[in-house]
Copies of this chain bind each other. A is one copy, B any other.
């Protein structure tokens, strides 16, 4: 079988010293420029992170009040990790020194290597050769670094300018440092999606996406592997897909360079030969790689996949096909917009029987009952209260022709109390069916939203986001089925 050959990883490296170091040394700091990347990495790890942090720079005795060593081999211990913030001219000699001292992994953030042309590529190749000889893997060069909370943060941006996600079960691998610290970090922080390790791969001279996926595959902290990719080197796309299909983790790829304009831009940026988007989208589908189209869809996919990996979520996605959904709304317009969106995302409403409609009407308070819409979407109107929502939700969760309930909450109506989230949670936890919420995205309703989300009922900031979450749950079910099938057939 030719697949096994393609699938083969040339070398496997131990990346633990890079991602879970006990001690690290930052090499290259400046006494003149407090914004020097080396200073940022040195002080943020010293002050904020768990890793024991040393600094090395020639000449200085201290920087910002902290002791500095003048040479790597003057350090009182052999650190696990070397972080280089030195010029590309001296990177090779520094890497050699680090390797000879016994350091087991490195991160090289500086640029002026392969991305600038032939000469830079030569410098880069020389470093790779040394690191291969010493079996010392390195991330980069030309990257923003690694974030591995609560241990390590070598992203050389001041922490006060960043929005850092909490520790959690999503690993992020990004071909763009900007997209990593901006789209990934801000969205994950906002939606309480935790990160196991985030890596900016830069020129990926030695360590590439496949090495990283293999590492995260075995990482007990990681359940979901998310990537920002601008394309693959020749052959790597296929290798990637085959590995993804074998993976027991969920693999989510957000792609840049989908269009001809984007492809041209990606060529200038990472030099990636972006594959034909249609081919890659098809391959991803075939190989169970989740491929959200927009930043917002990425966010909601990660939220759902991250949450579904939690052992306390109490339903299996295996039986969810996305065609038996109920909408429970307190606004008719919201129900209409949600119905449109379900169709857009290839999901569909279940048809309630006449008996079911009667039952729902009977469960409603009399004044809501007179004006409610009892077809699916169910519109209990602004006359409905907490009790109506909870009673109908329980009824719906007990129906065989309903596999998922979307509750569209508009707490602007005075009958709904702020305990609504908790009331839904108390009920929802008893049933083995997914519930997804929509709660308007204003701080004043955060009491409701947080009650739901902390108990694994994800909530969209817009109706479309709630529907994207439903689509992700459906996709998870399909992915599971397809993965099982693939494992058997391989």
Contacts and interface: CB of A to CB of B under 8 A. Distances in A.
Nearest to A162: B412
A115 interface: yes
Interface stretch (A17-25, A279-287, A438-446): A438-446
Contacts of A53: none
Contacts of A377: 265, 268
Given A261-B342, A444-B161, A371 B179 contact: no
A214 interface: no
A157 B333 CA distance: 17
| Centre residue among A116, A259, A331, A337 by max chain B CB count within 10 A | A337
A299 to B, nearest CB: 10
B410 A178 contact: yes
Interface stretch (A7-15, A169-177, A420-428): A169-177
A90 to B, nearest CB: 16
A442 B379 contact: no
B259 A340 contact: yes
Contacts of A295: 337, 462-464
Nearest to A33: B414
A348 interface: yes
Contacts of A382: 144, 177-178
A310 B116 CA distance: 46
Given A115-B371, A269-B379, A373-B269, A333 B178 contact: yes
Contacts of A330: 178
A340 B228 CA distance: 14
Nearest to A175: B333
Interface in A344-384: 344, 348-349, 370-371, 373, 375, 377, 379, 381-382
Contacts of A412: 157, 161-162, 181-182
A130 interface: no
A344 to B, nearest CB: 7
B371 A111 contact: yes
A112 to B, nearest CB: 6
Interface string A318-344: 000000000001111111111110111
A268 B375 contact: yes
A336 B262 contact: yes
Contacts of A260: 343
| Centre residue among A174, A183, A333, A373 by max chain B CB count within 10 A | A333
A386 interface: no
A70 interface: no
A158 interface: yes
A375 B264 contact: yes
A91 B402 CA distance: 41
Interface in A415-435: 415
A113 to B, nearest CB: 10
Contacts of A336: 176, 230, 256-257, 262, 265-266, 269
A476 interface: no
Contacts of A176: 331-334, 336
A330 B377 CA distance: 45
Interface in A271-296: 294-296
Contacts of A186: 440-442
Contacts of A268: 332, 373, 375, 377, 379
Contacts of A160: 444
Given A112-B371, A339-B259, A340-B258, A182 B379 contact: no
A440 B190 CA distance: 12
17 contacts: A142-B371, A162-B412, A163-B444, A178-B330, A183-B337, A186-B440, A230-B333, A257-B336, A259-B339, A259-B343, A262-B336, A262-B339, A265-B339, A269-B379, A270-B332, A294-B464, A295-B464
